[in-house]
Amino acid sequence: MKVLVTGGMGYIGSHTCLALLDAGFQPVIFDNLSNASKAVLTQINKISGVTPAFVEGDIRNTALVRQTLEHYGCEAVIHFAALKAVGESTVEPLNYYDNNVSGTLSLLQAMDSAGVRRIVFSSSATVYGEPDYIPIDEHHPLRATNPYGWSKVMVEQVLADLCQADSRWQATALRYFNPVGAHESGELGENPLGTPNNLMPYVAQVAVGKRSLLSVFGNDYPTADGTGVRDYIHVMDLASGHVMALKARLEGYFACNLGTGQGYSVTQLIETFRQVSGKAIPCEFVERRPGDVPCSYANSELAQQVLGWQAHKDLTAMVTDVWHWQLNYPMGI
Ligand code: NAD
Ligand code: WQD
């Protein structure tokens, strides 16, 4: 079965393409390369022996998306394409709503006219805003604290309304917690252009000597060691969640968390990285980062019940794979 993968050249999309190939699906990547390198195709081929079909284009180009769906005979879409930098979204909200919300509307219109009405959508734990309780389950109210987060809430609403209005549509929204890690081969991983916004790629770049010092944002949170706690999840576990969502053959709209259910602090992550890499990883405590919550981790029972999915890889596996990738490609690809 052919699956259109929007944003398939990006971090999570490229790893999901490997999982799709492994499961016998044929991914067709649609990406405008705004945050990815074409070299990803070479890396996918190195690992799998297959170079997926690739169309360079923007999801806001409805005609091109429709043409691509029809040309390749795609039967479903996995939709990763989005802008994802929280801070940037507060400065450029129009750009974020245009890319993430208008872009998704354009994609859905193209799908509808091509008669392809199955979609798996990259949502985020950011749709819970500052959590009322932990672990966070799917009954938690939806809200956001920034335009990026609101773009995810809005798209979820659009998908739910679409499935409600037309029973031919099926949409699954997967709410990722904190994706980290790399493919176990060390040939594919997160390839941030510029300064990483997220903790794990930043730590990896300090460990490899590309950056000199890690700033830890706050050590006065009400957590065991005072630093922020998150539910880090291995990108290949996430990738398998998408394959299982495609295989599940659900009806209507469904949304669930993808997390491990286990929280780790910033200090625990750095310590694990030190042990795995044998590197010192200099760091300093600085002020809290505005908008950060003290603690966030998932209740992932629903994904287990409905998709039969659960995460298998622990923090040591996540760090080991990131370090392997970072050592192989210290300057990225
Ligand atoms: P990424 O930036 O590595 O991948 C996104 C890809 O989409 C990039 O290759 C980019 O070039 C492409 N793209 C962006 N806008 C596009 C457009 N208009 N048309 C075509 N292609 C476009 O990001 P990622 O980390 O792989 O995230 C994938 C998805 O998962 C995103 O929707 C993101 O919001 C969501 N998500 C990510 C995280 C995370 O921490 N990485 C957490 C939760 C949810
Ligand atoms: C993790 C912890 C920081 C960097 C973000 C988005 C979220 C989702 C995933 C897309 C926090 C601390 C970080 C650094 C630090 N993305 N930290 N020094 O903020 O939980 O989630 O990515 O949907 O929407 O907000 O992830 O990796 O940025 O931070 O101390 O240089 O590491 O304060 O406690 P976050 P993160």
Residue closest via CA to ligand 2's atom 26 equals 198
Ligand 1 atom nearest to CA at 99: 18
Catalytic member of 96, 97, 128, 148 = 148
Architecture of the domain whose range is 2-180+232-259+297-312:
3-Layer(aba) Sandwich (3.40)
Nearest in space to 60 (alpha carbons), one of 40, 31, 84: 31
Q: Does 179 contact ligand 1 (Cβ within 6 A)?
A: yes
Query: Is the distance from CB of 104 to CB of 155 less than 8 angstroms?
Result: yes
What pLDDT shows up at residue 249?
A: 86
What pLDDT shows up at residue 243?
A: 98
Sequence spans of domains, the chain: 2-180+232-259+297-312
Q: Does 103 contact ligand 1 (Cβ within 6 A)?
A: yes
pLDDT averaged per 10 residues in sequence order, the chain, 333 residues: 98 98 98 97 98 98 99 98 96 98 99 98 97 98 97 98 98 98 98 93 97 97 98 98 96 98 98 98 96 95 98 98 97 90
Nearest in space to 266 (alpha carbons), one of 186, 202, 313, 311: 202
What pLDDT shows up at residue 102?
A: 99
Ligand nearest to the CA of 123: 1
Q: Does 288 contact ligand 2 (Cβ within 6 A)?
A: no
Query: Is the distance from CB of 243 to CB of 19 less than 8 angstroms?
Result: yes
DSSP code string of 170-218: EEEEEEE-EEE---TTSS-----SSS--SHHHHHHHHHTTSSS-EEEE-
Assign 272 to helix, strand or coil. Answer: helix
pTM over 0.95: yes
